[in-house]
Structure 1
Amino acid sequence: MTADSISLPQLLDAVPAGFPSPAQDYDAGPIDLTELLIEDQAATFLVRVSGTSMVDAGIHDGDVVIVDRSKTALSGDVVVAILDGDFTIKRLVRERGTWALRAENAEWPDVVVDELSTLEIFGVVTVSLRFHRSRR
């Protein structure tokens, strides 16, 4: 663990989301969230999502995504891209020799990157986090 690590206890067994089952043994030891979620801490950023273009990929308005700038983006990866100076989160695809940024929502069109556009990949999305707060 590093000085910046967050370590939390975990249950030994997976908890079913269906019919309840009594837990047999509660503590399986701590999980280091930094180690679990981040491969290259120096190249990793948290980005809050705005909009609904990626909902079918499980990325919703208000979610936080973990973005790794050290990863090389491949066709099929969800990326944070900078297209003509504007940031966007989309799936990077290569089809018929051209790059496109694909929305994961039928209401949003794909953006084909033409030769007059400037595309920079800021980083690859590795994790999407959605926070559900207790109503207390």
Structure 2
Amino acid sequence: MTEKKPASEKAPIKRQPGRPRKAEDEVQGRFLTMRVNEALMQAVKDRGGSRWAREALIDALQRSGGVLSPGIKPETIQVPKEKSSECTIPKLDMRAACGFPAPASEVETEETDLYDLLVPKPGKTILVEASGDSMVDAGIFEGDLLIVEVSSEARSGQIVLVCYDGNFLVKRLKVIDGRPELRSENSAVRYPVLRPRTTEQFVIEGIVRHVIRSYR
């Protein structure tokens, strides 16, 4: 006589409604049961338990190309405030001091307005906080503030903010044989090249023009 399985074991896993899930969501948002021996279980507990195991699994999948790079959180996208007053600071002209050091009293200065320098198109500019490490080789790190010029068009080779499968990403755009590719730039992690299949899957939101980093 065979043992009757509970209905919960026979029922198929259904995809939850809502936005398309990323690979990280599949790892972090669904509970899985894994069978391990006592020695391995004790090793996991010694290193921090289930939290350490999840992080180790995600890291292993990233290195094998199985997980997409973290996306931009929508709540970090901001519109810069309108310019209410000038914000000028002295800019040192050091181009003349190529050979021998020049005394500070001889260095020319001029007033530079940071707003005009960084936000040349106020009505078409947004601020985005970078997330993840997928673009570190391009000089973009976790927490950097990106100044993005809103545009639906971009040239091959530019760094762009895109909406891919419902998620905001910052990638290097490459056009190969007329087809767009979104590439990460991190030589330490093998992030997969994203190749949009349809125009609905991939929308260019803007072009990254400047990166602001705070050194604390």
TM-score (norm 2): 0.54
What is the SS of the residue equivalent to 1:111?
coil
Does 1:67 pair with 2:133?
no
Which one has a larger percent strand, Structure 1 or Structure 2? 1
Q: CA deviation at 1:4?
A: 4.5
Structure 1 position 27, deviation (Å): 5.6
Q: How does 1:1-136 map to 2 (within 5 A)?
A: 3-13=84-94, 22-25=103-106, 28-70=109-151, 72-106=153-187, 107=189, 108-115=191-198, 118-133=201-216
State the identity %: 37
Gaps of 5+ in 2: 1-82
Q: Aligned letter for 1:32? A: D
SS at match of 2:123: helix
- 8 Å contact 1:78–1:124 — kept in the other structure? yes
1:95-134 CA-to-partner distances (Å, cap 9, x unmatched) read 123211110113112111113851111100001111112x
Q: RMSD across aligned C-alpha pairs, in angstroms?
A: 2.5
Taking structure 1 as the reference length, what is the TM-score of the superposition? 0.82
Q: What letter matches 1:46 in structure 2?
A: L
What is the identity, as a one-letter code, of the residue corresponding to 1:81? Answer: V
Quick one: distance in 2 between partners of 1:85 and 1:71?
Answer: 16
With over 3 angstroms needed to count, the CA separation of the structure-2 counterparts of 1:30 and 1:60, relative to structure 1, is same
- Corresponding pairs, count: 130
For residues 109 and 121 of structure 1, do their structure 2 counterparts lie closer, same or farther at Cα, with a shift above 3 Å needed?
A: same
